[in-house]
């Protein structure tokens, strides 16, 4: 059983039948600011990309970007957005149905991974395996960007809180990481903004 029932895919497929609460018509402003403060190298992988707004933002900024999500309906919507882009931007962004918890299966390496609302979807005990996966796809000197909820809600089907302490404990030199920034911010939605945790971590 996960935070989203015993069949998370079915849950998220249902969510994407309507505009998802986190689809705000563009990338999350706090993630945009984090990327501006700590510029990435490409190519970039967007894990749990949803309908593609962050990946498209990165492509507009000139980065080769791959967005992956396990919900086919989300990827279909992302590809529809891509089809409306100028050809030079569209050529820089790609979307695939894939398991974002296992990016090593892509068989590719990246200069950066962006995670805007993915890490907070699964329980802390799944974090070690995911971080190990990220270590396999981010090349040395590459960066991981996290933007997650920083508050717990006592209701089902809601992301968990990611604390500063968790970030500092997971991303340590002994595991091949250097923490560049960890800070508070907001995660916007069509309902209300939520306190968020943001971090930039470098692979060493």
Confirm whether 68 is domain-assigned. yes
Instruction: Name 147's Cβ contacts closer than 8 Å, sequence gap at least 6.
Output: 28, 30, 31, 34, 115, 116, 117, 185, 187, 196, 197, 198
The reported pLDDT for the residue numbered 1 is 47
d(CA 121, CA 146): 12
Q: Where are the alpha helices (DSSP H) in the chain?
A: 8-15, 29-37, 53-60, 72-83, 87-90, 127-137, 164-170
Name the band, by pLDDT with cuts 50, 70 and 90, for residue 159.
confident
Q: DSSP readout, 57-114?
A: HHHHTT--EEEEES-HHHHHHHHHHHHTS-HHHHTTEEEEE--TT-GGGG---EEEEE
pLDDT surpasses 90 at 39:
yes
Q: Which residues contact 31 (CB under 8 A, 6 or more apart)?
A: 54, 114, 116, 145, 147, 198
Query: Is 2 part of a structural domain of the chain?
Result: no
pLDDT at residue 154, as a whole number: 73
pLDDT (0 to 100) of residue 169: 94
What CATH number is given to the structural domain containing 58? 3.40.50.150
pTM of the complete model: 0.92
> What per-residue confidence (pLDDT) applies to 5?
60
Range of lowest pLDDT (52-66, 163-177, 183-197): 183-197
Q: Which domain covers residue 158, as residue numbers?
A: 8-203
In a domain, residue 41? The reply is: yes
Residue-level pLDDT at 136? 95
Q: Which residue has the tokens 């500092």?
A: 168
Given a cut of 90, is residue 123 above it in pLDDT?
no
The answer as to whether 166 is a domain residue is yes
The rounded mean pLDDT for the chain is 90
Question: Of the segments 3-7, 8-12, 190-194, which one has the largest average pLDDT value?
Answer: 190-194
In a domain, 3, yes or no: no
* Beta-bridge partners for 199: 146, 182
Burial of 69 (0-12, 13-18, 19+ CB in 10 A): buried
Tokens of 10: 């079915």
Whether residue 175 has pLDDT greater than 60: yes
pLDDT in tens, 42-57: 999 999 999 999 999 9
* Structural domains of the chain, count: 1
Identify the residue with better confidence: 24 or 102. 102
* Residue 189 counted as domain residue: yes
Q: Which two tokens stand for residue 182?
A: 């960890």
pLDDT, tens digit, 9 for 90 and up, residues 135-156: 999 999 999 999 998 988 776 6
């Amino acid at each position: 059983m996960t935070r989203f029932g015993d069949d998370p895919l079915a849950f998220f497929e249902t969510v994407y039948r309507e505009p998802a609460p986190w689809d705000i018509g563009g990338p999350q402003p706090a993630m945009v600011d984090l990327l501006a403060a700590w510029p990435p190298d490409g190519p970039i992988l967007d894990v749990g990309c949803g309908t593609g707004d962050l990946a498209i933002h990165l492509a507009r900024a000139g980065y080769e970007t791959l967005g992956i999500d396990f919900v086919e309906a989300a990827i279909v919507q992302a590809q529809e957005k891509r089809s409306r882009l100028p050809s030079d931007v569209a050529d820089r962004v790609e979307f695939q149905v894939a398991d974002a918890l296992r990016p090593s299966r892509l068989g590719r390496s990246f200069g950066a991974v962006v995670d805007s609302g993915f890490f907070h979807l699964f329980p802390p005990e799944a974090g070690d395996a995911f971080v190990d996966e990220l270590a396999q796809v981010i090349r040395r000197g590459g960066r991981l960007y996290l933007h997650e909820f920083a508050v717990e809600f006592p209701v089902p089907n809601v992301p968990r809180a990611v604390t500063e302490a968790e970030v500092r404990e997971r991303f340590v030199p002994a595991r091949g990481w250097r923490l560049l920034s960890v800070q508070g911010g907001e995660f916007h939605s069509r309902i209300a903004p939520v306190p968020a945790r943001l971090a930039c971590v470098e692979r060493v």
